[in-house]
Amino acid sequence: MDNITGTREHGNPHAGFAGSGRSTGTRNTLSRLRDCATARLRDQRGSALATVLVLVVLLTVVGAAMVNSALTEISIAYNTGDSAAAQYAAEAGLSRAMYELSQNAGWTGTTGTIGDAQYVVTLTSSGSVRSITSTGTRGGGRRVLKAAVQAVPQSATSTVLVNTTAMIGSATTGLTVRNDFPSSAASAVHSNNKLTAGTAMTVNTTGATVIGELTASGTISGVTCATWAWTCNASASERSIPELDMDSAAASSLRNRAKNTTDPADGKNLYFHGGDATSRCNSGGAWTFSATETQRCWDYYISQRTGTIGQSIPNAVFFVEFNPSEATSYTTSGGGGGIAFRAISPGGGDSYAGLGTGNCVHVPTGVVDGDVMLAATSWTGGTGQTPTTPANYALNNTNSDLTGGLDFNKELGDYITDLSIAVSVAGVQTEDSFGFTKAGVPGAVGVTGDYIFSMYVTTANANIQLSAAVARVNSAGVQQAISGSATEQSAGTTGPKSFTFTAPALGTWSAGDRLRVTYRFRNTAASTQSVTFGTPVAGWGYSNMVTAPWTNGWTLVRRIDNGTTVSLAIYRKVASNESGRVCQKYSGAGYDWKFSPGSGSEYMAGSISAYSGVDTTTPIDAENGQATASSTTHSTPSITTTVANAMVVATFTASFTSGGITNNWTPPTGMTERID
């Protein structure tokens, strides 16, 4: 309680008396002698008067003190009452806050009165914690109470509970009951566990969706077995979500349904269990997989199918059952019975009149990541030509993790989607933007060689001049070396703009180094000018790309030269996002082969085939090749495999003179021809 004390100043009664007493004048001696007795009497009467005056003053002082004490007691009483009222008001505000928060966790406070007192409630939130401050006041009294509470969801065993019949939903408004409590969504009913009725329950499924458990002491009507998602008894008094019947002896179990469902493609069932005679995995022929090879069995099935698995099988249920401690991954060691042909380059492969920098071989449709691909390329001119496999990168809309470009910093990588980039350049200014390869590309594998850069102008502007440069940057994007700028080309016409950098001196590539391509735009006008480049036709990923001299991931298996007449080279590669590969001059996913010195009079043919189930670490078990003399019959040398169930792939090429020969090959007995 706040107390205010004052100070009163009181006069000294003796001093006051002295100030109000009589003063005696001067008398002669005779008068003093003559009136001696009289003087004494007068002095006595004067003493009596003085005494009376002193008593009056004392009584006055005591009375004043008594009045002051009474006033002080009244003030203290009033202050005590204000403080108590303020305390009660603060408590009322705190109680109000607790109630409001129980109704709305987002409540922020209020001001209220209780009698002639007032409370002010303020809240601060931190996660689910609410800090409450309640200040009560009345007159000179003031009290502050503080509390911290945590908002927690309410719960209930049965949110909807009736003793007779629970009627849920209507055909017009409906009711959704979900087993999702607590939930922040506004809903008429939450069911934390189940809806319970004491006797019977009727659910109007036209206007209600029930997700969870229904329990009734009588029949549950409205939700019939035909609309329930699992086996049920229509007259059951409790119809809860059941456990799935995975592998019981019942015909309706998932395992038995898979056993009794066949794939029309081969007449075998959909139950996969290595070492089990009732399973597809031990149904004979290529389907012979031990108790440790269930995963291999399933993978083999997948490799044999195209499109959506099971789309042609009515009510398909696939059941894959692993044996105890069985691994779900494996190494094929060259096959193990799981190798299967996937696909080959479309259109009978690719062929070209002329050898240059961009002889594209297209990727087969339907290749899956992890497939092993074999590329066969043959060309006339034999030893006179040296083929390489340059790396191509498309400019993407994806922003690079590196920066520094003024208008954009994009990623160079696999083709993802079509591109359109508008660039505005201030008057008489030059602006550089960048394209970067992904982190670690190429790293230390970067080599000396030529770079080819292309971009396609879709909205022309004759005031814009285009140029480019290539640079080696470290993992942080710091430039280590850069080529000179290419000769400028005008953006005054739409179409492709190409720049070639012949063996620029970019130094030694280190781990983490990346390629940066500079896109330079120079404005020759005094005002701001714009130009747009991108993909002119949907799918033309090659319109904006760069070719680098390092390998694009193909590994040479064998090259066979028949003098300067004809050559054959076989490459291998593990498939990875093959649909994103780009060629310099052709649409569609593919890889370029570059020939040096090249020739306009020589010819080239190539194709890529893909196989599933191949060991990606050591895909080639054994290989050999040879050149043969001119004849109508050509044989490969023999090889000896070191593992069972390997697949043999043979490739032949020949150089034909012009004429009316159809030039068709006839495959050996027991082999399937994939392309001719």
How many Å apart are CA 454 and CA 497, to the nearest integer?
6
Which tens digits make up the pLDDT trace of 95-113? 888 888 877 878 889 999 8
Closest CA to 419 of 534, 321, 255, 522: 534
Is the pLDDT at 241 greater than 70? The verdict is: no
Pairing mode, strands 319-320 and 271-272: parallel
1-21+31-152 against 394-548: fold identical: no
Looking at per-residue pLDDT, the higher value among 100 and 161 belongs to 100
Query: Is 465 within 8 Å of 491 (Cβ atoms)?
Result: yes
Helix (H) / strand (E) element for 18: namely helix 13-20
Q: Is 665 helix (H, G, I), strand (E, B) or coil?
A: coil
Query: Is 1 within 8 Å of 141 (Cβ atoms)?
Result: yes
Phi then psi dihedrals of residue 125, to 5 deg: -115, 145
Which tens digits make up the pLDDT trace of 311-330? 888 888 999 999 887 876 65
Q: Is 341 exposed, middle or buried (0-12, 13-18, 19+ CB in 10 A)?
A: middle
The predicted model scores a pTM of 0.54
How many Å apart are CA 80 and CA 125, to the nearest integer?
34
User: Residue 516: CA atoms inside 13 Å, Cβ hemisphere, count?
Assistant: 29
Report in angstroms the alpha-carbon separations of 208 from 215, 439, 446: 16, 53, 65
Report in angstroms the alpha-carbon separations of 424 from 77, 406, 465, 529: 81, 10, 12, 6
CA 134 to chain centre: 43
DSSP H helices, 201-337, are 254-259, 294-303
Q: Name 611's bridge partners.
A: 341, 372
Q: Name 165's bridge partners.
A: 200
Q: Which of 345-354, 514-523, 658-667 has the highest mean pLDDT?
A: 514-523
* Type of residue found at 657: T
Kindly state the greatest CA–CA separation across the chain.
187
pLDDT classification of 669: cutoffs 50, 70, 90 = confident
How many Å apart are CA 181 and CA 161, to the nearest integer?
16
DSSP 38-69: HHHHHHHHHHHHHHHHHHHHHHHHHHHHHHHH
Q: Is 113 helix (H, G, I), strand (E, B) or coil?
A: strand
When the pLDDT of each residue in the chain is averaged and rounded to a whole number, the result is 79
Three-class SS of 545-563? EEEEEEECCCEEEEEEEEC
Query: Is 520 within 8 Å of 467 (Cβ atoms)?
Result: yes
Looking at the chain, the whole-number percentage of residues with pLDDT higher than 90 is 43
Q: Is 97 helix (H, G, I), strand (E, B) or coil?
A: helix
How many Å apart are CA 332 and CA 330, to the nearest integer?
6
Q: Is 254 helix (H, G, I), strand (E, B) or coil?
A: helix
Give the pLDDT confidence score for residue 290 in this predicted structure: 87
Give the pLDDT confidence score for residue 116 in this predicted structure: 86
Helix (H) / strand (E) element for 96: namely helix 36-103
Hey, what CATH class is 394-548 in? mainly beta
Q: Which of 185-189, 591-595, 633-637 has the highest mean pLDDT?
A: 591-595
Name the residue with tokens 């195209």: 306
Which tens digits make up the pLDDT trace of 647-657? 999 999 888 76
Radius of gyration of the chain (CA): 50
Cβ contacts of residue 659 below 8 Å, gap of 6+? none
Is the pLDDT at 555 greater than 70? The verdict is: yes
Closest CA to 609 of 366, 323, 255: 366
Taking residues 79-84, report their average pLDDT. 76
1-21+31-152: CATH architecture:
Single Sheet (2.20)
Looking at the chain, the whole-number percentage of residues with pLDDT higher than 70 is 71
What residue ranges do the domains of the chain occupy?
1-21+31-152, 161-239, 254-320, 355-389+552-612, 394-548
How many Å apart are CA 629 and CA 611, to the nearest integer?
31
Buried b / exposed e over 483-516, threshold 16 CB at 10 Å, is beebeebebeeeeebebebeebebeebeeebbbb
Taking residues 374-392, report their average pLDDT. 93
Give the pLDDT confidence score for residue 203 in this predicted structure: 66
Give the pLDDT confidence score for residue 160 in this predicted structure: 53
Taking residues 490-504, report their average pLDDT. 96
Three-class SS of 325-353? CCCCCCCCCCCCCCCEEEEECHHHCEEEE
Query: Is 86 within 8 Å of 117 (Cβ atoms)?
Result: yes
Is the pLDDT at 423 greater than 80? The verdict is: yes
